[in-house]
Chains A and B, each alone.
Chain A
Amino acid sequence: MTVQEVEQGRYRSPFYPRQAELDRLFQWHDWKGYATADGFYETDLEYFAIRNSTGVFDLTPMTKYRITGPDSFVFVDRLVTRDMSKIKPGRVAYAVWCDDEGQVIDDGTIFHLKDGEYRLCSQERHMAWLNMSSIGLDVTVVDETADVCGLAVQGPTSFSILKKMGLDGIENLRPFGLTHFEFQGAELMVSRTGFTGDLGYELWVSNEKAIDLWDALFAAGQNYGIMAIGTDALEHSRLEAGLIAAYIDFLPANATVRSGRSRSPLELGLEWLVDFKKPNFNGRCALAQEKRRGSTWRLVKLDIEGNKPAHHSYIYSNPRKKKEIGFITSAAWSPVCKQNIALGTVRVPHGAVGEKLLVEIYYQREMHWSRVMAEATVVDKPFWDPPRKRATPPGPF
């Protein structure tokens, strides 16, 4: 028997050769073993590409599972908290799945590719959990992370670019819809999904077509402000969209050590994803009980006065500010909303929409630290929610 040595370096995505040509910063980090760029030239400009023209983000390291077999629907419906019978072929669902105690293991998107054939995408890896869930079901779960590559094409001109690329019929694709195109003899899957809260698409193709896809996309985008973007710009836009991120705004239940550090979907503001009417799903009993008894935590979107981002701030109830009621998990100044925004976790009953809270912000200027107590209002809508995100067909920009 020959022993195969484990590759110890970071993987390169099939798009790496093109990204390397554009890279002026040499700032890369690790995303599930893949080298992923923080940025390529200037984070501000990359961020504004998402909001003003089009940013292209390499999704390849995203964990991807292909779920097939006669019981595939039963499997996914039992796995996640939302009713998957409503997700017909050609549709995509944002979903969360929980452990037996109703604590979120992860969130992700489930693509109903063809009748009875699904793809589950998530930031984290879940093969052990999926295998365990599939016991007794006639279903096959295959990790296709390394076989399929993807690009998120996000921003107001993204529709114009894909149209220009020759994807006829793309104008009919509704939000959370997916469709297949023939691309240079291969199958190209396009979904109207993304992590930016803007008009945008995700393109999925097999690895050998990666470079051709990139070239076709950037050629089509030449006059539409297309720009490769890194994680920093994306991170900014996902917060504006009010979307949560694993290991930032919640911890995967399977990875927590201390009790009380995991969260249920109800505590993450995802109650709309929990369907108690469907027959059964993992964690149903625990969640039903939580619904009756009340949750401990509540995830809040905060509009904070002033312009100092509330990184890692404590949250106090206004105006007593005696005991902290929670903390901020994500914070930033939003250039498009011109708002000081944050996601935070507070103890119930705090955090009702419209409630005014206080956050304690520390900020540093030329070595010295200062502190402000800023008023924060709980809001319910995403901070950034332009009409173009929903428009079908979308406008040219």
Chain B
Amino acid sequence: MKTYDAIVVGAGHNGLTNAAYLAKSGLNVLCLEKNDYIGGATVSRNLYKDWFYSNCSYVCSLLRPEIFRDLDLARHGLQVTPYGGGTVFMQNGDYLGNYPNAEVHYREYARFSKSDADAYERYSADTMRQCRFIRDFLLRTPPDPTSFRPKDLKELAHLGSKFFEMGEQRMYDTIRFWTMSVAEYLDEYFETDVIKAALSGSGIIGTALGIHSPGTAYVLLHHYMGDVDGNMGAWGYARGGMGSVAKAINSAFLSYGGELRTDAGVEQITVRNNKVTGVALTSGEEIKAPIVVSAMDVKRTFLKCMDKNDLDDDFYRRVKNFKIRGSSGKLNIALDGMPTFPALPKGSPLLDGDMHFIDSMERMERAYDDWKEGTWSKDPYVDMVIPTVCDPTMAPPGKHFMSCFVQYCPAQIEGRDWTDEERDQFGKTVIDQISEYSPDFKDLILHCEVRTPREIENEAGLTEGNIFHGELTMDQLMFNRPIPGYAQYRGPVGGLYMCGSSNHPGGGVMAAPGCNAAREILFDLRRPDITPVNFGDD
């Protein structure tokens, strides 16, 4: 029977990144995927005629440019194209545009408030300052603050020096920023409701918190800290859909001699004498390896794919209590043509950006109220994009693919499982909301895939359909992610590692957890560190 140096469980972008670095280092690596396609939630799926849906993740910004370059993903076929801006449609028939050109952006904000238009400059600088701070840690292993090992002390000193570098007032600001709500943060700069509503969306996407919940300012940062070719905060489309990201990383992995198996779901990670021995597949087959790396979320890894008796009780309890709450759903729609949005001027470049339909902070919070009640938002926050406006490869010419990310959408309805009728009702809620701003939209729908957390968990394997593999709150970030004492990608039994987004620096198509975990594995194997370092001040 063939044996391997390492088995990576899950061929999402993090699993593949981890596998690629291990294979590049010369290890004999097997990557296993339960589905018959790769990518996990970084996928392009052909579910209707000639349409390719980015049916989970749909835009790209966080993917570490250092990894993009180091794994030569461009040569492996990945191209990320920035998109133009964004729009919030308002109930009074007006709209708020977000333009890439700074002066046009100023003019648009000034239409509502000159003060807000001016404040945007300071808001951007303050937010970018936090981005610069966090970006430095994305490709580093979080230090253990309780440890006296030289490696941890060095990392702690680095963290401290970066913090002190900010200066006295900004250190206070930073601590406030990391703990405050996005609504409070925006209140410090802006007076116009629709502007605050537009900016607050980034504070709640993917999280089961409302705009007034503490910690949501950080979630906003998580959506701003990426870049497209150095334009910090910019987002782009992967040409061919998000599956192109996984495809390119997989192509790099295979080029280093790695082996991929699809249709190979892992039933259990096998352990003997506190050390992993390999994995048992759902088919009954067993594969041996001294190292097993789980790219699954922490709950799925330990609660579903391991024997509880192989784990200590308190560890098990902490995993059970890890917050990974379902809060979002997704509609993927094939369109027979470009829907019109009468509020926008003809030929507006804003059609090439993201669109939203909530124009007040009140409505943002109401949407969260529904989630707390145990149901989907009746007036949801929708982050809608039509990538085919600029990507010619995802739908036939003149036809379009529309991606609607929807918040909020609970993992269960009032404590019980979703029914298919409820799923369809959820889809209808979203379609109705968009139709209010686009009269011809409904008639253009050729096919619609509606995904609640139930579908996302069943297909992509994300517990409760949580897109980040766990909430991005202070208690679950840095050295506390996923749980205290286990933030350095090592599991509780020998040879077991974790490389999914449950680990630092968290969710999004970033590939950093996969890369960071590879660095720690290579360290333990006393092999040279081949993972890339941060590009530095940019």
Q: Which residue of B lies closest to A44 (CB)?
A: B82
Q: Are B101 and A42 in contact, CB atoms less than 8 angstroms apart?
A: yes
**A218-229 contact mask (Cβ, 8 Å, vs B): 1 or 0:** 000011110000
Q: Tell me the bound Cα distance from A319 to B80 in angstroms.
A: 35
Judge whether A52 and B81 touch: CB under 8 Å: yes
Q: How far is the CA of A396 from the CA of B69 in the complex (A)?
A: 28
Does the CB pair A225–B390 fall under 8 Å?
Answer: yes
Determine whether A160 belongs to the interface, using a CB cutoff of 8 Å to chain B.
yes
Q: Are B69 and A338 in contact (CB under 8 A)?
A: yes
CB distance from B354 to the nearest CB of A (A): 15
B391 is an interface residue with CB less than 8 A from chain A: yes
Judge whether B392 and A370 touch: CB under 8 Å: no
Do residues B391 and A52 form an inter-chain contact, with CB atoms below 8 A? yes
Q: Is the beta-carbon distance between B84 and A42 smaller than 8 angstroms?
A: yes
Alpha-carbon distance A51/B73, docked complex (angstroms):
16
Which residues in A have their C-beta under 8 angstroms from that of B231?
44
* C-alpha spacing A224/B100, complex, angstroms: 22
> Within 8 Å CB of B100, what residues of A?
42, 44-45
Interface size class of B (residues with CB under 8 A): 20 to 34
Q: Which of B68, B231, B393 has the most CB of A within 10 A?
A: B393
In the bound complex, CA of A222 to CA of B398 (Å):
8
- Establish whether residues B538 and A339, one from each chain, have CB atoms under 8 Å apart when the complex forms: no
CB distance from B440 to the nearest CB of A (A): 17
Give B457-482 as 1s and 0s: 1 = Cβ < 8 Å from A's Cβ atoms: 00000000000000000000000000
Q: Is A306 an interface residue (CB 8 A)?
A: yes
Contacts of B65 in A (CB 8 A): 307, 338
* Cβ of A28 under 8 Å from chain B: no
Contact of A338 among B68, B390, B397 (CB under 8 A): B68
**B356-390 interface mask toward A, CB cutoff 8 Å, 1 = contact, 0 = none?**
00000000000000000000000000000000011
In the complex, whether B345 has a CB less than 8 A from a CB of chain A is: no
The prevalent SS among residues of B at the interface is: loop
> Which one of A45, A365, A372 contacts B82 once the chains associate, using CB atoms below 8 Å?
A45
Q: Which residues of A contact B349 (CB under 8 A)?
A: 41-42
Q: What is the bound-complex CA distance between A156 and B398, given in angstroms?
A: 16
Q: A45-B84, A338-B73 are known contacts. Are A307 and B390 too (CB-CB below 8 A)?
A: no
A52 lies within 8 A of B392 (CB): yes
Q: At the interface, yes or no: B74 with Cβ under 8 Å from chain A?
A: yes
Q: Is A336 an interface residue (CB 8 A)?
A: yes
Given contacts A42-B84, A160-B397, A307-B535, contact A51 B392 (CB under 8 A): no
Would you call B392 and A339 a contact (CB within 8 A)?
Answer: no
B415 at the interface (CB under 8 A from A): no
Question: What are 12 A-B contacts defined by CB distance under 8 Å?
Answer: A42-B349, A44-B100, A44-B231, A45-B100, A49-B390, A52-B81, A308-B538, A336-B74, A339-B74, A365-B537, A365-B538, A397-B393
- Contact surface of A with B, Cβ cutoff 8 Å: 24, 41-42, 44-45, 48-49, 51-53, 156-157, 160, 164, 222-225, 306-308, 333, 335-339, 365, 370, 372, 396-397
